[in-house]
Amino acid sequence: MLKDQNEIREKENHRVFKQLLNTFVSSQKNETKAEENKEEYAQNVQIIPKIFYNEFTKQLKVEFKIGDKQLYKIKNLPEFYEKMLNKETYKYGNKLNLLHQEESFSQDSISILKFLLKYAEIMKYHNEVMSEYNYYTKNFVQDSILISNSGLDDFFSSLEGKEVLFQKADKEKTIYFSKEEPNILFEINQINNKFKLTCNIDVFSYDILQGKEYMYLLLQNTIYRCNEEFKEATLKLLEVLRKNYTNEIILDELELTSFFAIIAPKMEGKINSEKLSNAIKEKCIPKKLGVKMYLDYDSHSNITAEVKFCYGDQEINPFIKTTTNFARNVALENEALNNFLKTGFLLDKTNYRLVLADEEKIYFFLSEEIESYMKKYEILATDTFRKKQIHSLQMKSIGIKVENNLLQIDLSQIGIDLSDLNQILQKYTLKKKFHRLKDGSYIKLDENENIQFLEDLTYNLDINYSDWKNGFITMPSYRSLYLEKMLKNLKNVEIKTDKNYQTIIDKLKENQDTANIEVPENLNAQMRLYQKIGYKWLKLLDQYEFGGILADDMGLRKNPSNACCYSIVCK
């Protein structure tokens, strides 16, 4: 019985191995055959997309043809995806025998091929899922891709700089995919005492297509990818014209002034006003705006800002109602005022100026924002303002000496008022970014090795702020080693030490081991190795007049006759 079972198992193993062997041999034959027949397969195959546009729903769909000598429509995109996935061969017609791999396609077709495969895969799995939920739903669209918002971004990227067949209603043409902004310009002409604004295109001739990341403008034979500036300026003006079913707007002189003050600055280079008279230009077109800020501190250490809008030699306080005989650049004035509000400046109505009172916002303004302000505006500051800036604590010198077996540390020259030190260390411990000193200036707390040293000195060595006396700290001399290690982390600080301290440090460096210390010969005891090491360590401490405690746990629970022995040297 057992013999029969073994024979059956051996036959089954042989059958499985033979199947495995045949699988690899067959695969190798197929690879060899594919290589031999490589010349028979089409090379440099083109993928030709064709776009269909529904002007009522504003939707695009795309179909694809492939071929080298003759084009064949891809009737089932999910099946094409599977053929590419499995590198299958398929004969589309007498003139296209295709090995479905990327190398079979022309270089300029690769980008659109990747787009096709990405969305054909989505179609495939969508159709499979829907078929599971609804058995009767079988008539899925297989031969085209309906372009979604995110799909439009991908589609444009795959065809940028290329021409593509485009069908709208019954008319077919070729459109070009351009990432350049469309050349849409506006012109203002004077007609008697009125002014006419017109555009160089028919405002009813374009269509807007919305992608996920970009907006697109379909105009004549081109589809443009438009930036945010175009969308917020040129397009808004076009949309107003189109919604009012007109290609022009008639303006009076006051409206023209408002147009140049509010709208034109956002459309620099897009408005042609050359045909206007010099008198109208002088009266209606704003001059170049300059912004000045005079910065100072008030008695409460708040930042004050006197703001001036400058047009040539004339300076205007924006918080005082002023009548001018020229057009002001209202758009840029409002932009500047909004910047001030975002920073946190508030209006001081009494003094017609701005005030920044919040400490956090003052620190952020001084540390971050003031640089961008200086790039945009002309910043003028008083001597008081310049003095009350952000400083990084930089110690000048530290003095160390040893008297009566005590370390005395002189920190009177660390660069700050010692009365501020307690609050500085408290805020540093709480991970605050800054501390405001009594004079209104700021100390930057983060990434400061000097403050880290003071915190280590105060907290790690158990020194209370009350122990600071006129900038001096006293501590036991056995702290010398730890203090020396802390001092090594300081840079650009002068360390002044006396002879006694330096002697201790030098000896410790020279005699870091206890090899030259021997246990007394007259000791009436047999000491174990760790006890000898403990004795030598205590003797070394005694040489430098340091204190130490050695505790030796002998294991009382194992042997009650043993005692717990402590050897103590105290100074």
Q: pLDDT value at position 28?
A: 53
Average pLDDT over residues 223-232: 91
Q: Are strands 163-168 and 194-199 parallel, antiparallel or unpaired?
A: unpaired
What average pLDDT does the structure give for the chain? 82
Instruction: Classify residue 385: in a domain, yes or no.
Output: no
CB 215 within 8 A of CB 209: yes
Confidence at 568, pLDDT banded by 50, 70, 90: very low
What is the C-alpha separation between 313 and 311, in angstroms, rounded?
Answer: 6
Query: Are residues 251 and 344 both part of a single domain?
Result: no
Helix (H) or strand (E) holding 243: helix 234-243
Instruction: Classify residue 132: in a domain, yes or no.
Output: yes
What is the C-alpha separation between 343 and 360, in angstroms, rounded?
Answer: 11
Between 467 and 146, whose confidence is greater?
Answer: 146
What is the C-alpha separation between 176 and 174, in angstroms, rounded?
Answer: 7
- Its domain, for residue 519, covers 513-571
Query: Are residues 418 and 486 both part of a single domain?
Result: yes
Q: Are strands 397-403 and 346-348 parallel, antiparallel or unpaired?
A: unpaired
Q: Give the best-scoring range by mean pLDDT among 253-257, 511-515, 537-541.
A: 253-257
Instruction: Classify residue 386: in a domain, yes or no.
Output: no
Number of domain units in the chain: 6
Query: Are residues 156 and 51 both part of a single domain?
Result: yes
Instruction: Classify residue 175: in a domain, yes or no.
Output: no
Instruction: Classify residue 41: in a domain, yes or no.
Output: no
Confidence at 119, pLDDT banded by 50, 70, 90: very high
Average pLDDT over residues 534-554: 64
Query: Are residues 280 and 340 both part of a single domain?
Result: no
Query: Are residues 82 and 148 both part of a single domain?
Result: yes
Give yes or no for residue 489 having a pLDDT over 50.
yes
Instruction: Classify residue 71: in a domain, yes or no.
Output: yes
Confidence at 564, pLDDT banded by 50, 70, 90: very low
Instruction: Classify residue 94: in a domain, yes or no.
Output: yes
H helices of 328-367, where? Answer: 330-343, 359-364
Cβ-Cβ contacts under 8 Å for 378 (sequence gap 6 or more): 290, 291, 292, 293
Give yes or no for residue 460 having a pLDDT over 90.
no
Domain end (from 375, 402, 419): 375
CB 378 within 8 A of CB 292: yes
CB 405 within 8 A of CB 571: yes
Reference 233, options 265, 257, 209, 258; nearest CA is 265
Give yes or no for residue 206 having a pLDDT over 90.
yes
Instruction: Classify residue 66: in a domain, yes or no.
Output: yes
Backbone φ and ψ of 242, nearest 5°: -70, -40
Domain end (from 329, 349, 375): 375
CB 311 within 8 A of CB 287: yes
Q: pLDDT value at position 51?
A: 95
Q: pLDDT value at position 469?
A: 62
Confidence at 319, pLDDT banded by 50, 70, 90: very high
Q: pLDDT value at position 560?
A: 45
Query: Are residues 343 and 433 both part of a single domain?
Result: no
Query: Are residues 401 and 506 both part of a single domain?
Result: yes
Q: pLDDT value at position 361?
A: 93
Helix (H) or strand (E) holding 63: strand 59-67
Average pLDDT over residues 25-36: 52
What is the C-alpha separation between 178 and 223, in angstroms, rounded?
Answer: 6
Query: Are residues 360 and 246 both part of a single domain?
Result: no
* Model pTM score: 0.60
Q: Give the best-scoring range by mean pLDDT among 11-15, 186-190, 523-527.
A: 186-190
Backbone φ and ψ of 297, nearest 5°: -115, 145
Give yes or no for residue 139 having a pLDDT over 90.
no
Give yes or no for residue 459 having a pLDDT over 70.
yes
Q: Give the best-scoring range by mean pLDDT among 130-134, 354-358, 513-517.
A: 354-358
Give yes or no for residue 373 having a pLDDT over 90.
yes
What is the C-alpha separation between 255 and 241, in angstroms, rounded?
Answer: 16
Determine which of 14-28, 76-90, 170-184, 277-291 has the lowest per-residue pLDDT on average: 14-28
What is the C-alpha separation between 238 and 540, in angstroms, rounded?
Answer: 90
Query: Are residues 336 and 363 both part of a single domain?
Result: yes
Pull the structure tokens for residue 397.
């010198």
Query: Are residues 164 and 50 both part of a single domain?
Result: yes
Region at 184 (left for phi over 0; alpha for psi -120 to 50; beta for the rest):
beta
Domain end (from 458, 489, 510): 510
Give yes or no for residue 554 having a pLDDT over 60.
no
Q: Are strands 271-272 and 290-297 parallel, antiparallel or unpaired?
A: unpaired
Task: Look at the block and give the residue holding tokens 């002998």.
Answer: 554
Query: Are residues 207 and 275 both part of a single domain?
Result: yes
Q: pLDDT value at position 565?
A: 46
Query: Are residues 455 and 555 both part of a single domain?
Result: no
